[in-house]
Structure 1
Amino acid sequence: MRAIAALLLSLALLVGCSSSKTDESWVEDEITFEADGLTIHGTYRHQRDATPGPAALLISESGQTDRNGDNAVVGPVGNMRQLAEHLSGLGVATLRYDKIGTGRTGLGPYAQKPAEVGSAVYTAGARAALRFLADQPATDKAHMSAYGLGEGATHAMALAVDTASDAPKLHSLGLLQPLPGRYLDLITGRVKADVAAAVKQGSKTAQQADEVVAAWTAAVAQVRADGTLPPGQLPDGLGAILNPGNVKIVRETDAVDPLGEAAKIPAGTPVLLTCSDSDAQARCEGLKPLTAALAHTELTLVELKGVNHVLRDDPTDNLADYAKPAPLSGQLTTALDAFVRE
Structure 2
Amino acid sequence: MPALLIAAAVLAAQGVPPARVSSGTAIRAEANGALEAYLLTPAGRPKATMIIIPGSGPTDRDGNNPNAVKAAPYRKLTEALVTRGVATLRIDKRGMYGSKAAGNPNEATFADYDGDVRAWVETARRRTGQKCVWVAGHSEGGLVALRAAGGPNVCGVVLLATPGERLGDTIRKQLRANPANAPVLASAEEALGELEAGRRVAVTGLHPALAQGLFNPAVQGFMIELLAQDPAKLAAAVKRPMLIVQGGHDVQVGTVNGEVLKKAAPKASYVLFPAMNHALSDAPAERGPNLATYAETDRPLTPGLTDRIAAFVTGRK
TM-score, with normalisation over the residues of structure 1? 0.76
Which structure 1 segments of 5+ residues have no match?
1-26, 199-203
Q: Secondary structure at the match of 1:275?
A: strand
* Equivalent residue, structure 2, for 1:300: 269
Q: What is the aligned partner in structure 2 of residue 158 from structure 1?
A: 147
Instruction: State the Cα distance separating 1:185 from its structure 2 match.
Output: 2.3
8 Å Cα contact 2:200-2:220 kept in structure 1: yes
Aligned residues: 288
Deviation sequence 1:72-121 (CA, Å, 0-9, x none)? 211432211111122212211111111124322225433xxx54233333
How far did residue 337 of structure 1 move? 4.2
The alpha carbon displacement at 1:34 in A equals 5.7
Other-structure match for 2:49? 55
State whether residues 120 and 252 of structure 1, in contact with CA within 8 Å, keep that contact through their aligned partners in structure 2. Answer: no
Matches of 2:220 and 2:257, distance apart in 1: 25
Q: Distance in 2 between matches of 1:39 and 1:107?
A: 5
- Amino acid corresponding to residue 87 of structure 1 in structure 2: L
Pair 1:243 & 2:213 matched: no
Q: Which residue in 2 is equivalent to 1:141?
A: 131
Specify which structure has the bigger relative contact order, considering alpha-carbon pairs within 8 angstroms and separated by 6 or more residues. 1
Q: Deviations over 1:218-253 (max 9, x none)?
A: 212222334310352433722211121110111111
Aligned position for 1:182: 166
Q: 1:53–1:139: 8 Å Cα contact kept in structure 2?
A: no
CA RMSD between the two structures: 2.4
1:180 touches 1:258 (CA, 8 Å); kept in 2?
yes
Q: What does residue 290 of structure 1 align with?
A: 261
Question: How far, CA to CA, are the matches of 1:218 and 1:150 in structure 2?
Answer: 25
**2-structure distance, mates of 1:246, 1:290:** 26
Distance 2:103 2:136 in 1: 27
Instruction: Report which of the two structures shows the higher radius of gyration computed on alpha carbons.
Output: 1
Q: In the alignment, what sits opposite 2:63?
A: 69
Report percent identity of matched pairs. Answer: 29
Are residues 129 and 238 of structure 1, via their aligned partners in 2, closer, same or farther at CA, if it must alter by over 3 Å? Answer: same
Q: How many Å separate the matches in 1 of 2:148 and 2:73?
A: 22
Match of 2:25 in 1: 29
Distance between the aligned counterparts of 2:51 and 2:224, measured in 1?
Answer: 26
Q: Where do 1:60-139 residues align within 5 Å?
A: 60-106=54-100, 108-110=102-104, 115-136=106-127, 138-139=128-129
Whether contact under 8 Å (2:110, 2:225) holds in the other structure is: yes
How far 1:183 sits from its partner (Å)? 1.8
How far apart, in 2, do the equivalents of 1:156 and 1:109 lie?
21
Question: Does residue 217 of structure 1 match 2:212?
Answer: no
State the TM-score, normalized to the length of structure 2. 0.82
The correspondence for 1:321, drawn from 287, 293, 299, is 293
Q: Deviations over 1:256-315 (max 9, x none)?
A: 11111001100xx332212222111222234322210011x3x22111122111111112
Shift of 1:65: 0.9
Q: Which amino acid aligns with 1:262?
A: A
CA distance in 2, matches of 1:121, 1:265: 20
Task: Tell me whether 305-314 or 74-83 shows the greater mean CA deviation.
Answer: 74-83
Q: Distance in 1 between matches of 2:310 and 2:108?
A: 36
User: 3-state SS of the aligned residue for 2:201?
Assistant: coil
Q: Aligned partners of 2:210, 2:188: CA distance in 1, in Å? A: 8
